Amino acid sequence: MADALGLADTAVELAIAAGASDAEATCRIVTRFSAQARDREIEKLERSTSRFLALRVFADGAKATFSTSDFTLESMREFVRETVAAAAHVAPDPLVGLPDESLSANADDLEIFAEDVERRDPEAKIDDALLIERTAREFDPRIVNSRGSRAADSSATTALANSRGFRGSYRSTTVSRGSSPIAADGTRKRIASYGSAARSYAALEPAISIARTAAQRAIESIGARKPDSMRCPVIFERDVASALLGDLFNSVSARNVAIGNSFLVGKIGERIGSELVTIRDDGRLPGGLGTSPFDSEGVPTQQTLVFERGVLRTYLFDTYYGRKLGARSTGNSAGDGIGPNNFYLEPGSASLEELIASTARGVLVLDTIGFATEYVSGTYSRGARGFLIENGALSVPLDEFTIAGNIATILSNIDAVGQDLRFDAGIVSPSFRVAEMTVSGN
C-alpha cells in the first residue's frame, strides 16, 4: 500500500508542478488467478499482476483524465505533462473539480480483505475447478457437456491522493466459483449456470454445492415449453430480481436524472413502490462485494436510504452531478460515472418455497435473456425461462416467453419479498413476487 500511495503522491506533485490547479491520482495493483475446467481437463489457466495509475487534472475550469502502466520516473513525468497539456483542449465546465472536502475514510472494520485468498495454494484452486466440473458431469447421465466450471480470485491494492490533502489506501480480495452444465433434451440442449462470490474462501459456497445446484437447474429445464400468454403473478428468483434492480439503479443515478433519461425525474418524496420496497445503497456493509472506505474521488462511502417503504427518498450522486443538481455526493463515484456500492432490496421473512406455495397460479422466473429497458418511461421487457406454478407448486418448466411491464408498476405491485438475500455482487436482491404481470407466450 505504501508503494501504491507513493506513486499516487508523486503523480499529484508532478501535475501541480506542470501547471495543474488541482490533481487526483489513483493507483491500483491487482493480482488475479483463474482456472477453468471442461470435461476432465483444465482448458484455461491465468495468473497475472496488473497495475495502472489514473490521473485527473484540472486547469482553468477544464478537466483531463489519462492513465498509464509505466511507472518509471521519466515516463511518469512525460505522462503527467501530456495529461496537463490535454486539459487546454477541453471546454471549461464550472462544475468540474475535486470534492469540496477531503475527509478521512476508515477501512479498518469493513472486512473486505481476507488472508485466506493469498494463502490458498494454486493447486487447490485448480482442484476446485476440476471438482466442480466433475461433480456437475456426474450428477445425472443427461448432463452431456458444459460451458466450463470456474474458480477465480483476486487481491487488490487501491490508493488515492489529491492536491487538497486526501491520502487513502486499502486492500481488498474477491473469490468466485461457478459452473455452466448442459443437459440433453432430445435434440435440444438445456444450459444452466450457477455461481457464488464473496470476499473470502471461508464465506464462499462450497464447490460441490455449486456444481449440484447448477446441474439440478439444467436437469429441471428438460421438457420446457412455451406457456400460453396470460396475466398472472410473477416471482423473480433472487438473481433475476438483482438484474431488475440494476435497471432501477440506472434510474436513480443522478447522471441519468440530470439528462432526463429516467422515469424518476422529479419524483423525490413520491410513492413509487409498495410498502415492501425499502432499498439501500451501503458502501460500509462489512464484507460486501461493493464495500470500500471511499469512492473513486476519495469521498467516504456511506449508507444511503434510496427508497423507504416505497417512497423515493434520494438519487445517488458523485461530486459533479451533486453540484449540477444541488446535492451532496453520496459516495457513489465510479471513475467517470456513478456506480453502486451495495445496492439492495431489504429482505422479507418468507423463503422462496413459501412464495411459491402461496401462489395459486403464476410463473417463477429463473433466468432472463436480452435487454429491453427504456429508462425514460420505465418500460421493461425480457425474454425468460422458468417454471409454471399451479396450486402452489412448480408444475412444468417454461422457456421462450417474455415478461413485460413498467418498472414503477412492478415496484408498486410487489406483494411478497423473500429472505434469500445474498451479498455476492454490487447490486443484489432477495426473491420477490409481483402480483400481476404480462407473460407473453403462445
Residue 340 has pLDDT above 80, yes or no: yes
When pLDDT is cut at 50, 70 and 90, the band that residue 2 belongs to is confident
Bridge-based pairing state of the strands 432-440 and 230-236: antiparallel
DSSP state of 164: T
Rounded to whole angstroms, the Cα distance separating 320 from 315 reads 13
Nearest to 250 by CA among 238, 236, 264, 240: 264
**Predicted local distance difference test score (pLDDT) of residue 104:** 60
Residue 59 has pLDDT above 80, yes or no: yes
Average pLDDT over residues 123-135: 97
Residue 54 has pLDDT above 70, yes or no: yes
Rounded to whole angstroms, the Cα distance separating 99 from 85 reads 22
195-247 pLDDT per residue, tens: 999 999 999 999 999 999 999 999 999 999 999 999 999 999 999 999 999 99
- Judge contact between 437 and 410, C-beta under 8 A: yes
Task: List the grid coordinates of 435.
Answer: 402480483
Q: How many CB atoms lie within 10 A of CB 84?
A: 24
What is 2-220's CATH number, 3.30.70.2740, 3.30.2130.10, 3.30.2290.10, 3.80.10.10?
A: 3.30.2290.10
Average pLDDT over residues 271-275: 97
So where are the chain's domains? 2-220, 224-442
**Predicted local distance difference test score (pLDDT) of residue 415:** 97
**Global pTM exceeds 0.75:** yes
**Predicted local distance difference test score (pLDDT) of residue 331:** 95
Q: What mean pLDDT value characterizes the chain? A: 94
**Predicted local distance difference test score (pLDDT) of residue 371:** 73
Average pLDDT over residues 34-62: 95
When pLDDT is cut at 50, 70 and 90, the band that residue 319 belongs to is very high
When pLDDT is cut at 50, 70 and 90, the band that residue 40 belongs to is confident
350-365 pLDDT per residue, tens: 999 999 999 999 999 9
When pLDDT is cut at 50, 70 and 90, the band that residue 335 belongs to is confident
314 residue type, one letter: T
**Predicted local distance difference test score (pLDDT) of residue 147:** 95
When pLDDT is cut at 50, 70 and 90, the band that residue 108 belongs to is low
Handedness of CA 240, 242, 246, 248 (dihedral sign): positive
- Judge contact between 80 and 65, C-beta under 8 A: no
What share of the chain in percent tops pLDDT 70? 98
What share of the chain in percent tops pLDDT 90? 93
Report the C-alpha dihedral over residues 31, 334, 107, 157, rounded to 10 degrees.
Answer: 20
DSSP state of 254: H
Rounded to whole angstroms, the Cα distance separating 325 from 375 reads 19
75-107 pLDDT per residue, tens: 999 999 999 999 999 999 999 999 987 666 665
